[in-house]
Amino acid sequence: MYTSKISGLGSYVPENVVTNDDLSKVMDTNDEWIQERTGIKERRHIKKGDGNSTSIMGVKAAKIALERAKLTTDDIELIIFATLSPDMYFPGGGVRVQEMMNMRTIPALDVRNQCSGFVYAISVADQFIKTGMYKNVLVIGSENHSGGLDMTTRGRGVSVIFGDGAGAAVLTRSEEEGRGILSTHLHSEGAHAKELSLEGPSTEHWVPEIISENPQENIPYYPYMNGQFVFKNAVVRFSEVINEGLQANNLSATDINMLIPHQANLRISQFVQRQFKLSDDQVYNNIQKYGNTTAASIPIALTEAWEQGKIKEGDLVVLAAFGSGFTWGSAIIRW
Ligand SMILES: CC(C)(COP(=O)(O)OP(=O)(O)OC[C@H]1O[C@@H](n2cnc3c(N)ncnc32)[C@H](O)[C@@H]1OP(=O)(O)O)[C@@H](O)C(=O)NCCC(=O)NCCS
């Protein structure tokens, strides 16, 4: 019986720091409002000319993860790339990573599951490893939000929250029972697709149509978010899917050593922490520094927690995410 373990982790964020005060210079917002509602102090934005893109940041994170896994690109048999902000409408980021890393003609698959993209992606990787089809899978979550946000007062309810960055994990076959990814749990509820969405440009809203049909105040090529509705659903689904994962493995909240929640909003993470009666050092948060980096948030947080020695051999690590779709999921890992 094969399982998959995380054999290497890496992350990358652009150098350009954008503070809440920086945002207040271009839109009607302020540090107090942003920190009080989201916990965010600053985020990173790609700067024009700094050479970054969604797939380039993914490559930077992936190189670190591969080195730490002590593997080369030739060892990788599948790339899974999670993002909502690909460099191009098509093809996806996976093939761009393959090209930039000079990899063989291995399969490359993009996952479009927004904030839960990384959890979905490692679940897919885990299935391929469990069946024996692949030994080493490279999973990347990367986002360039700043390229597509409305940086005016009109977009302030969304734009202050999101940031750029990438994280990567190498998943490797293991035969050690009871270790590695114990289980993953995935859900979606398409009835709420529009509550956190970006409608166009798309095949439903192509560019000429957008320009002719939409007045300036209703532009569907910027993200829309029904913040309070998202918040209320997030706290319920996070808790449900963590409980589902624990129960599937006959575990309880007291067994958790480290919870890595998708960095949606510090208030959401704190709510979940209270529900599971976890201490501050059992939940890793870095949204204060990076904002919400969607598919990149869990692998960046997981990498940092591991780098800081907060995850040790044998620890029970729980990943949980919720976001646009709505989609949500969890992964229960024995490190
Ligand atoms: C987005 C969020 C922070 C907004 O907080 P909120 O308390 O719901 O705030 P509201 O949207 O009700 O807005 C309250 C007021 O602040 C204003 N406001 C919105 N964004 C603002 C900003 N960046 N700066 C200052 N004021 C702002 C609104 O216009 C509104 O003003 P009004 O009362 O005069 O109409 C909150 O709903 C949230 O975190 N939701 C979950 C988002 C999330 O996690 N998304 C990712 C999911 S993966």
Answer yes or no: 115 catalytic: yes
Residue type present at position 256: I
> Which residue intervals of the chain are DSSP H helices?
20-24, 31-38, 54-68, 93-100, 117-130, 156-159, 207-213, 227-248, 266-275, 287-290, 297-307
Q: Say whether 121 sits in a helix, a strand or coil.
A: helix
Query: In the structure, what pLDDT confidence band is assigned to residue 203 with cuts at 50, 70 and 90?
Result: confident
Contact 272 CB / ligand 1 (< 6 Å): no
Share of residues in the chain with pLDDT > 70 (%): 99
pLDDT digits (tens, 9 = 90+) for 244-300: 999 999 999 999 999 999 999 999 999 999 999 999 999 999 999 999 999 999 999
Counting residues of the chain whose pLDDT is more than 90, the rounded percentage is 92
With a threshold of 0.75, does the pTM exceed it? yes
Dihedral of the CA atoms 258, 262, 266, 272 (nearest 10)?
A: -60
Count of all residues that appear for the chain in the document = 335
Phi-psi region of 139 (alpha: psi -120 to 50; beta: other; left: phi over 0): beta
Q: Which atom of ligand 1 is nearest to the CA of 294?
A: 48
Do 135 and 93 reside in the same domain of the chain? Answer: yes
Please tell me what DSSP assigns to residue 249.
Answer: T
Among the candidates 118, 144, 174, a domain finishes at 174
Task: Give yes or no for residue 206 having a pLDDT over 80.
Answer: no
281 vs 89: CA distance, rounded Å:
40
Secondary structure letter of residue 266 according to DSSP: H
DSSP 192: G
Tokens coding 34: 């942003």
Between 202 and 53, the more confident residue is 53
Measure the CA–CA gap between 169 and 8, rounded to whole angstroms. Answer: 6
* CA-closest residue to ligand 1 atom 31: 157
Tell me: do 233 and 330 sit in the same domain: yes
Q: Please name the amino acid found at residue 104.
A: R
Q: Are residues 146 and 13 in the same domain?
A: yes
Check if 156 has its Cβ closer than 6 Å to any atom of ligand 1.
yes
pLDDT at residue 207, rounded to an integer: 74
Q: Is 292 in the pocket of ligand 1 (CB under 6 A)?
A: yes
Same domain, 84 and 220: no
Nearest CA to ligand 1 atom 44: 264
Tens digits of per-residue pLDDT, 40-53?
999 999 998 999 99
Q: Which residues of 180-216 are buried (b: 16+ CB within 10 A; e: fewer)?
A: bbbebbbbeeeebeebbbbbbeeeebeeeebeeeeee
Is 292 annotated as catalytic? yes
Is any ligand 1 atom within 6 A of the Cβ of residue 245?
A: no
Note the pLDDT of residue 226: 96
Q: Is the same domain home to 149 and 290?
A: no
* pLDDT tens per residue across span 85-139: 999 999 999 999 999 999 999 999 999 999 999 999 999 999 999 999 999 999 9
Q: What pLDDT, on the 0 to 100 scale, is given for residue 213?
A: 72
Atom of ligand 1 nearest to the CA of 292: 46
The total of structural domains in the chain comes to 2
Q: Find tokens 């709505």 and name the residue.
A: 326
Q: Per-residue pLDDT tens for 10-66?
A: 999 999 999 999 999 999 999 999 999 999 999 999 998 999 999 999 999 999 999
Residues 91 and 191 in one domain: no
**Structural domain boundaries, residue 158:** 3-174
Omega within 30 of 0 (cis) for the link into 223: no
Q: Are residues 192 and 147 in the same domain?
A: no
Contact 268 CB / ligand 1 (< 6 Å): yes
Answer yes or no: do 118 and 216 share one domain: no
Q: How confident is the model at residue 319 (pLDDT cuts 50, 70, 90)?
A: very high
Q: Which of 174, 199, 231 is the last residue of a domain?
A: 174
Which tokens is 283 given?
A: 């939940």
CATH number at residue 242: 3.40.47.10
Structural element, H or E, at residue 78 = strand 78-82
Asked whether the predicted pLDDT for residue 216 surpasses 70, the reply is no
By the 8 A CB rule, do 224 and 196 touch? yes
- Is residue 145 scored above 80 in pLDDT? yes
User: Among 155, 221, 234, 220, which residue's Cα sits nearest to residue 192?
Assistant: 234
Dist. CA 59–CA 166, nearest whole Å: 9
Same domain, 73 and 220: no
User: Is the model's pLDDT at 217 over the cut of 80?
Assistant: no
pLDDT score recorded for residue 115: 98
Q: Which of 143, 159, 174 is the last residue of a domain?
A: 174
Which pLDDT score, from 0 to 100, does residue 200 have? 80
Q: CA torsion angle for 197, 203, 206, 210 (degrees, to 10)?
A: -40
Can 249 be counted among the known catalytic residues?
no
Distance (angstroms) between ligand 1 centre and the Cα of 23 equals 15
- Average pLDDT over the chain, rounded to whole? 96
